[in-house]
Amino acid sequence: MKQYDKNSLIGFVLMAIILIIFNTFFFPDPLVDEKNTIPLTEEDTYIIEKKDTEAIIQIPTSINKSAISEELKLTYGVFANTAIGEEEYEVLENDKLKITISNKGGRITSVILKEYQTYDSLPLELFNADSSRFNLQFTTGHNINTANLYFEAEKSSNSVSMKLKADNNHYVEYVYSISSDYLVDFNINMIGMEDLIPIGVNYMNLEWQMKTPQTEKSKSNQDMYTGIYYQEKSNNEVDYLSLTSSDEEEVNAKLNWVSFKQQFFSAIFISENGFNKPTILVSNKNEHSKFIKDLSAKFELPYTHRRDEQLNYKFFFGPNHYKTLESYNSGFEELIPLGWGIFGWVNQYIIINIFDFLSKYMSNYGLIILLLTIIIKLALSPFTYKAYLSQAKMKVLKPEIDKLNEKNKGKDQMKIQQETMNVYRKAGVNPMGGCLPMLFQFPILIAMFRFFPASIELRQESFLWADDLSAYDSIYNLGFEIPFYGDHISLFTLLMTISTLLYTRMNASMATGQMAQMKWMMYLMPIMFLGFFNNYAAGLSYYYFLANMFTFGQQYFMKKFIDEDAILSQLEENKKKPKKKSKFQKKLEEMQRKQEEQMRKRSK
């Protein structure tokens, strides 16, 4: 006999022995207490189990007794009667939400946000029964998974009770309550369960899963902003799993909440007392799936064997609108990726407030972006003027610098730089003068890059040929895919690229030294942006295009008011005045001196 045949035979024999022992010692015939049973009628009961506490757990038989097979009794024990039923639904509604709750699993199977629609004008369903799972797992000596069992529903005006009954005195109850906003209260009541759950068991597992549907025009954009976020209780810090690839993490810290976040909407599960550790979070990305991502969380819920124990939670189902999320004072606003550090501060304290102020007085978001651009450019105009003035000085000195470079062609680069700095120092020109003012504008540039794709206000707002400023604006579908570009032409992106190239050409004439040698890099960047922004939010490309056009206008007027001949005369006058060497100049000369000494030593 072959080795694997022997192993199989031994395995079967051991399994048979275990089954015989298990059935003999762990499943005796049901004990019947005649005093506590009811004569067999249409409301008759089966006795399933008798505890050491003398409590007899009975199964109401509103269904046919023969339907509760021995197999169900062995699988579910005192909850065998809940394994058979017909699925029915209860609905909770307010002005913002429509929530459907199923008696199978006692769970929310659908959430519709009434104020929003999908990109193809369908009701916006955050998730549905086929793409979600909610399961409480505990043991009574049998592993109970509530997702497979049928609850008894009872509805009042603004709440629904779902009871998973062993009998009238022993059951698990879910209570869902809704008010006027996006929050849903969710309480788990463990009534009499201390008689059923073994003493040594002090926790239950809760599994929550959602496959996020495509609700936006651009699936790739939605994917970039979809994932799992969570907040730690100890420091209220918000962290998240990878948004670009599949990721899994076991969080060994107490959590306030866990969010299944999409680009513009979120489902957040909140604990009043914090989720015990560990919490297992999984985000799966499948490029070929119709869903954006498959998100799941497994929580460990405490159970202390108290009489009629209650666990209190909340759900948030709603939009990722900054002011709305901030109003809950729970850190939800950090779900919106406004950027880190100074970029986030610019968005939080400046851009969002200006945007909201303008939104109060007009509803056309194309015009709002136009006014926002004007306000930002005017606020930055002093820095723009200083940068242009510095560039004008560099342009005036360019012929002299070009002669110097030609004269020292082929010589040591350090020496050329030293002589160039001498020319700038004598003329009183700071070569970094044009860069420093631009550094003040850089945080605005990056802040806007983060702001527009994350702004739900732009969602499905049309302007000119763009039907959705939060997605790409396609004026022509190519019918085929171009790598790093896409299958369509976005006009705002094209206009932004052309205006950036024109702006680059305008500034290239002022470039000197190494910057002049890197002109090709200055032209390459806008071409790269053409591919990147082609699938990005139209509102962002529109803003950058407007910003370029206003910069052209500013430079046109500055050129009218700045006399380059007067600048040249002033620089010539500066050369006649004695100038102290700057620290940078002294350091450069010291480096030159050391380099010359090293070269002399090598030549000996």
pLDDT in tens, 269-282: 999 889 988 999 99
Residue 507: per-residue pLDDT = 67
Quote the pLDDT of residue 43.
Answer: 36
- pLDDT value at residue 54: 36
Which residue type sits at 361?
Y
**Closest listed residue to residue 317, CA positions, set 242, 208, 234, 237:** 208
**pLDDT value, residue 70:** 78
CA distance 352 to 568: 44
DSSP string, 208-268: EEEEPPP-SS-HHHHHHT-EEEEEETTT--EEE--SSS-EEEEE-S-EEEEEEE-SSEEEE
State residue 442's pLDDT score: 80
Q: Are 315 and 269 in contact (CB under 8 A)?
A: yes
Closest CA to 212 of 131, 98, 309, 158: 131
- The per-residue pLDDT for 261 is 95
Residues whose CB falls within 8 Å of the CB of residue 273, separated by 6 or more in sequence, listed in order? 312
* 282, 248 contact by CB (below 8 A): yes
User: In this predicted structure, what is the pLDDT of residue 485?
Assistant: 81
pLDDT at 4: 39
- Give me the pLDDT at residue 56, please: 43
CB 102 within 8 A of CB 89: yes
**Where do the structural domains in the chain lie, given as residue ranges?**
85-336, 344-576
Specify whether the CB–CB gap between 92 and 158 falls below 8 A.
yes
Q: What is the distance between the alpha carbons of residues 358 and 353, in angstroms, rounded to a whole number? A: 9
How many whole angstroms separate alpha carbon 487 and alpha carbon 482? 6
At residue 527, the pLDDT reads 81
pLDDT more than 90, % of the chain? 38
Class of domain 85-336: mainly beta
Give pLDDT, residue 72: 82
Question: Residue 496 in contact with residue 545, Cβ under 8 Å?
Answer: yes
Looking at residue 515, its pLDDT comes to: 52
Asked if 248 and 283 touch (Cβ cutoff 8 Å), the reply is: yes
What was the pLDDT predicted at 51?
Answer: 40
Q: Which residues of the chain have pLDDT under 70?
A: 1-68, 394, 396-398, 400-420, 422-438, 440, 507-522, 563-593, 595-604
pLDDT on residue 583: 62
What's the confidence (pLDDT) of residue 264? Answer: 94
| Torsions phi, psi for 581 (to 5 deg) | -75, 135
Contact of 125 with 116, CB cutoff 8 Å = no
DSSP bridge pairs for 317: 267
Query: 168 phi and psi, to 5 degrees?
Result: -70, -15
